[in-house]
Amino acid sequence: MRPSLLRRASALLLLALVACDASSATPKTPSEPPPAAAALDVPEVDAPEADAAPTPGDDAPAPGASVMAFPSGSNAPAADASAATRPAVHADLDPDNDEVIGPPPPIEDCEERLAAAGITFKPARIGLGRKQGGVYTCGSEQVVRVRRGPGEITYSKSSPLLTCGMALALADFERVAQEEAQRHLGARIKQIDHLGTYNCRKMAAYDLISEHSYANGFDLRRFHLTSGEVISVLEDFRPEVDEPDAPATRFLRALANRLYDEGVFSVVVTPYFDRLHRNHIHVDLARYRVDGSRP
Ligand SMILES: [Zn+2]
């Protein structure tokens, strides 16, 4: 196996544990003793709204959830994406840092870049927890509360608390989501229900931290359209259907494919991946890449 593939396979194996409820993740390699279940040093959230954390138990991994094969495609954006609509690449394409763990580095001129991207936001602070084993396990140096993006989408149940990088990616996410909603459903998205962004926790079996621990991940659950239609990942993704006719299913799959292919996010995980993600699409800006947008 080529070193790059090995790295990716390693990252993918670990992703099974990056999934959204790490506290109940099952160790995948029984021979490897899990680290001590040390309590995390959770930093204070200096923001007026409580963050919507993914619901424990709701995301319990299925016994024997399999690790899917990594696709052979490159990280290059999809060839059919026109230059006019292609979003900026936010995904980390550097194969040499895939195993680096920690909050993302701050982005220079973050607030100016957010404003230029059409993001209305409020500065926030979650700080960094203590280092454990030389690694920050919680928090991030640079987070914001996103009030409104350029796609005029509101987010319930709370304004997303995100790293600056994720907030910038959200601007491109909204453009892609609105394009696909118009294309498949003939309407625009007015609201997205999410399951959370910031949730500080450690993996059960590996020294790998969920990107949610750094407010660097986002779980998308339902899409409310201007037509009144509501698209639910749980009911409409239908991973068991090979060639769906339903516009809602085609919308969700096209959206996930583009978010990965065009590098809006490093990681895109859908109900194709495991039962843990049966009710939401997880996106994040990890240093490694995982395409969970395909069967
Ligand atoms: Zn998640």
How far does the centroid of ligand 1 lie from the alpha carbon of residue 282, in Å?
4
- Alpha-carbon distance of 9 to 51, in angstroms, equals 32
Averaged pLDDT, 28-56: 40
In angstroms, the CA 184 to CA 225 distance is 12
From CA 131, how far away is CA 40, in angstroms rounded?
10
Report the distance separating Cα 67 and Cα 235, nearest Å.
23
Would you say how long the chain is, in residues? Answer: 295
Q: How far is the CA of 283 from the centre of ligand 1 (A)?
A: 7
d(CA 282, CA 270): 7
CA of 19 from ligand 1 middle (Å) equals 6
- Per residue in 226-247, pLDDT (tens digit) is 999 999 999 999 999 999 999 9
What's the 264 CA to ligand 1 centre distance in angstroms?
16
For residue 281, the CA-to-ligand 1 centroid distance in Å is 7
CA 2 centroid distance within chain: 27
If you measure from the C-alpha of residue 20 to the centroid of ligand 1, how many angstroms do you get, rounded to a whole number?
4
Task: Give buried/exposed letters for 134-157 (b at 16+ CB in 10 A, else e).
Answer: eebbbbbbbbbbbeebebebebee
- CA of 109 from ligand 1 middle (Å) equals 27
Ligand 1 centroid–CA 217 distance in Å is: 6
- Ligand 1 centroid to Cα of residue 219, in Å, is 5
Q: How far is the CA of 32 from the centre of ligand 1 (A)?
A: 25
The percentage of the chain sitting over the pLDDT mark of 90, rounded to a whole number, equals 59
> According to the model, what pLDDT value does residue 76 have?
39
| 126 Cα to the center of ligand 1, angstroms | 18
**Cα–Cα distance, 70 to 219 (Å, whole number):** 21
Distance 155 CA to ligand 1 centre (A): 16
pLDDT in tens, 146-181: 999 999 999 987 899 999 999 999 999 999 999 999
Span from the CA of 266 to the centroid of ligand 1 (angstroms):
13
Higher pLDDT, 35 or 153: 153
